[in-house]
Chain A
Amino acid sequence: METRQEPVISIRGLVNRFGRQVVHDHLDLDVRRDEILGVVGGSGAGKSVLLRSILGLHGPNEGTINVLGHDIRHHEPGPHRKWGVLFQGGALLSGLTVQENVELPIALHSNLPVETRRELAVLKIFMVGLDLNAASKYPNELSGGMRKRASLARALALEPKLLFLDEPTAGLDPISATEFDELVSYLHANLDLTIVMITHDVDTLFSICDRVAVLVNKGIIVDTLEEIVKHPDPWIQEYFGDPRAVRARTAARHRLSSRREAE
């Protein structure tokens, strides 16, 4: 199919400056359909600014951003029916229950009868591994991991093609983080999603990301993990040479080889 070749997100010549500090200097990025792209970079490398630029929450100084054939402009509605965003803190509306939070985008963007709306919301809540008990609770009554799941359910409410995750496993214990990784890769496999995630979790990078984008030197380097660990850039070497990263890498290799044996 010809649409497969077209990038889902294409960024050309993106420049972001804050005063005299340049964060992105003519950055180009293509995100392919159906991939999971992990975005990494040191603090202040501009991960969040990049995400906010793509979402139209931040107006870049120069450059064009195209998402799903839609040109993104600052403060103008983007293709919000086709994308879903999981914010770092969850950003669930605190005055509504989980059920109502998930129902909200459905209610805003359709004129479906109430029962249908409820059923669809419940469907999404089940899909992220929550139950009806959690659905009737308010966000402040949930644990951090459950809040992330609920927020993910809301992001999926409108059947998006594109999902943005901002530090999905930050603040979760390793078990919840692994479960969340599994959930993301399960949804990716089952819902034809393209996923862009900002992450610091090397386990996440090695276990579920197809490609990795590293923000260094005001630019971006995108490649598969096998290639990117060989890149000579000092920051990349330091990042992937870190004992935690090495452990995660070996663990991922073990997983891969044991899966092959099983097959």
Chain B
Amino acid sequence: MLRRPTTDRNADLFARLSHNTGEKPRDMSAYLAVEELDGVMEINLAGDWVFANLNELQQSLDEIEPGDRRLVRFQCGGLKDFDLAGAWILYERSMDFEEVGIETAFENFRATHFKFLQHIIDLAAQKEYIPGFFDPKPHHYWRSGIRAIGANTIEAVDSVGFIARAVLDGIKRPSRLVIGETIRQVHATGAAAIPIVSTICFLMGIVLAYQSARQLEQFGANIFMVDLVANAILRELGVLLAAIMVAGRSGSAFAAALGTMKLTEEVDALRVMGLNPNQVLIIPRVLGLVIALPMLTVFANAAGLLGGAFIGAAVLDINGFAFTERLATTISVNDVLVGLSKAPVFAFLIAVTGTLRGMQVKGSAEELGRLTTVAVVQSIFLIIVADAIFTVVYSRIGF
């Protein structure tokens, strides 16, 4: 803990700095040797009293037992190397002695060494003990819990306001800048994601076809595999997989990009140039993704069906012709629309969560990483929640 030495004690210490020659010491360790003269303890310092040896120095100093002696004299003539850390540890120990009423003195310092000690003494005089600075803060579970609920509520309201504001800005004063940036975003979040999303959905089609065929084979109803795959892919999995993939790809990219722009004051620069960050940064991203995800879903659906057809032809004796015929009879345009209608909503959720979290970055690089993670996790969570709501509503209205 920080100690507050009084200034007059320091003055005292200065007064007791004198030049004296010590006698032959008895070795105790590499750094100090203790010698006893009637009632006086002489400590001869030796070796390098530097930061690197601090642990050993502390140990050696702790081993000193002054007992009932009234004066401890540090003989500093034998010091080789000295630095602030060494000076500090020496000073601290001498203050320990002073506290129990033992006088201490430093002697035979070389000028080059003494300035370090003087430094420590000066600094110690400046030090003011601030209560509670180092003490752990008391933890109130109830209070901090209630506070957390309040803070989260405020944050949620704030977020909704932020989104409303951004959307309103976009509708009220569409800017010419938005168009080019939106097209760029459509490309970055949509077109660039086609290969990975298609591959994943193709594989999902294969998995579905295989799993359903194993069950249906028992009834000799292999052909119903087509119903199962087509319904699952078109109504649910195509759009869901595309959205989750985009959340991982683009949601995180939005948060990281906007967060970095916040940290480097680019957002502030836009604002002082008279550009609304909502307009230039958020609207193009939201709009771009809302356009891109439905299109991406089309690719995802096609790839999923292709995966099903591939397994049908390769393993289940359902050739391409039979597959398409069955598809035409079992699937209506409604099934496709059910899937596609979810896409803009998912896209909106992903883009808004990503940009919102990005804009919330303040201050540190760690914050950026944390909020990027939050953006991805929350957008996937919101996608699943929204999908559940969609499913319930659609089945109620018979869509």
Q: Please, which residues of chain B bring their CB within 8 A of the CB of A120? A: 51, 85, 88
A126 contact from B126, B362, B364, Cβ within 8 A:
B126
B123 beta carbon closer than 8 Å to chain A: yes
Query: Is B58 touching A116 in the complex (CB atoms < 8 A)?
Result: yes
B4 beta carbon closer than 8 Å to chain A: no
| Those of B52-93 within 8 Å (CB) of chain A | 52, 54-55, 58, 83-85, 88-89, 92
Closest to A140 in B: B363
Query: Is B51 touching A110 in the complex (CB atoms < 8 A)?
Result: yes
A250 beta carbon closer than 8 Å to chain B: no
| Those of B101-153 within 8 Å (CB) of chain A | 112, 115-116, 119-120, 123, 126-128, 130, 133-134
B23 beta carbon closer than 8 Å to chain A: no
Query: Is B54 touching A126 in the complex (CB atoms < 8 A)?
Result: no
Cβ contacts B296-340/A at 8 Å (1 or 0 each): 000000000000000000000000000000000000000000000
Query: Is B51 touching A158 in the complex (CB atoms < 8 A)?
Result: yes
A21 beta carbon closer than 8 Å to chain B: no
Query: Is B365 touching A112 in the complex (CB atoms < 8 A)?
Result: no
Q: A159-B51, A159-B83 are in contact. Are A122 and B2 (CB under 8 A)?
A: yes
Query: Is A190 touching B115 in the complex (CB atoms < 8 A)?
Result: yes
Query: Is B112 touching A192 in the complex (CB atoms < 8 A)?
Result: yes
Query: Is A138 touching B363 in the complex (CB atoms < 8 A)?
Result: yes
* CA gap between A94 and B362 in the complex, in Å: 10
Enumerate chain B interface residues (CB-CB to A < 8 A): 1-2, 50-52, 54-55, 58, 83-85, 88-89, 92, 112, 115-116, 119-120, 123, 126-128, 130, 133-134, 362-367
Query: Is B88 touching A119 in the complex (CB atoms < 8 A)?
Result: yes
Q: A110-B51, A190-B115, A192-B112 are in contact. Are A132 and B364 (CB under 8 A)?
A: no
Query: Is B83 touching A136 in the complex (CB atoms < 8 A)?
Result: no
Query: Is A136 touching B133 in the complex (CB atoms < 8 A)?
Result: yes
Query: Is A94 touching B364 in the complex (CB atoms < 8 A)?
Result: yes
Q: A94-B366, A136-B133 are in contact. Are A123 and B84 (CB under 8 A)?
A: yes
* CA gap between A159 and B82 in the complex, in Å: 10
Chain A binding surface SS class:
helix
* CA gap between A139 and B123 in the complex, in Å: 23
A140 contact from B120, B134, B364, Cβ within 8 A:
B364
Total contacting residues, chain A, CB less than 8 A: 28
Cβ contacts A98-119/B at 8 Å (1 or 0 each): 0000000000001110011011
Query: Is B1 touching A95 in the complex (CB atoms < 8 A)?
Result: no
* CA gap between A133 and B132 in the complex, in Å: 12
Q: A95-B364, A110-B55, A140-B364 are in contact. Are A123 and B1 (CB under 8 A)?
A: no
Q: Please, which residues of chain B bring their CB within 8 A of the CB of A133? A: 130
Query: Is B2 touching A110 in the complex (CB atoms < 8 A)?
Result: no
* CA gap between A127 and B50 in the complex, in Å: 17
Closest to A114 in B: B134
B119 contact from A119, A139, A190, Cβ within 8 A:
A190
* CA gap between A75 and B367 in the complex, in Å: 29
Cβ contacts A132-159/B at 8 Å (1 or 0 each): 1100101111000000000000000011
Scoring B2, B126, B134 by chain A CB atoms within 10 A of each residue's CB, the highest score goes to B134
Q: Please, which residues of chain B bring their CB within 8 A of the CB of A81? A: 52
Q: Please, which residues of chain A bring their CB within 8 A of the CB of B58? A: 116
Q: Please, which residues of chain A bring their CB within 8 A of the CB of B85? A: 120, 159
* CA gap between A118 and B2 in the complex, in Å: 10
Query: Is B364 touching A159 in the complex (CB atoms < 8 A)?
Result: no
Query: Is A95 touching B84 in the complex (CB atoms < 8 A)?
Result: no
A191 beta carbon closer than 8 Å to chain B: yes
Q: Please, which residues of chain A bring their CB within 8 A of the CB of B365? A: 94-95
Query: Is A123 touching B130 in the complex (CB atoms < 8 A)?
Result: no
Q: Please, which residues of chain A bring their CB within 8 A of the CB of B1? A: 115
A118 contact from B120, B134, B364, Cβ within 8 A:
B134
A260 to chain B, nearest CB (A): 23
* CA gap between A95 and B52 in the complex, in Å: 27
Q: Please, which residues of chain B bring their CB within 8 A of the CB of A111? A: 55
Q: Please, which residues of chain B bring their CB within 8 A of the CB of A119? A: 2, 88, 92
Q: Please, which residues of chain A bring their CB within 8 A of the CB of B130? A: 132-133
B134 to chain A, nearest CB (A): 6
B3 to chain A, nearest CB (A): 10
A210 to chain B, nearest CB (A): 18
* CA gap between A222 and B327 in the complex, in Å: 84
A184 to chain B, nearest CB (A): 16
Query: Is A95 touching B366 in the complex (CB atoms < 8 A)?
Result: yes
* CA gap between A119 and B51 in the complex, in Å: 13
Q: Please, which residues of chain A bring their CB within 8 A of the CB of B362? A: 140
Query: Is A191 touching B55 in the complex (CB atoms < 8 A)?
Result: no
B264 to chain A, nearest CB (A): 11
Q: A138-B363, A140-B363, A192-B112 are in contact. Are A112 and B88 (CB under 8 A)?
A: no
Closest to B89 in A: A116
Query: Is B363 touching A112 in the complex (CB atoms < 8 A)?
Result: no
Known: A94-B366, A123-B120, A191-B83; 19 extra A-B contacts, CB below 8 A, are: A81-B52, A94-B363, A94-B367, A95-B365, A110-B54, A112-B55, A116-B89, A119-B2, A120-B85, A122-B2, A123-B123, A124-B84, A126-B123, A126-B126, A126-B127, A132-B130, A138-B363, A138-B364, A159-B50
A145 to chain B, nearest CB (A): 18
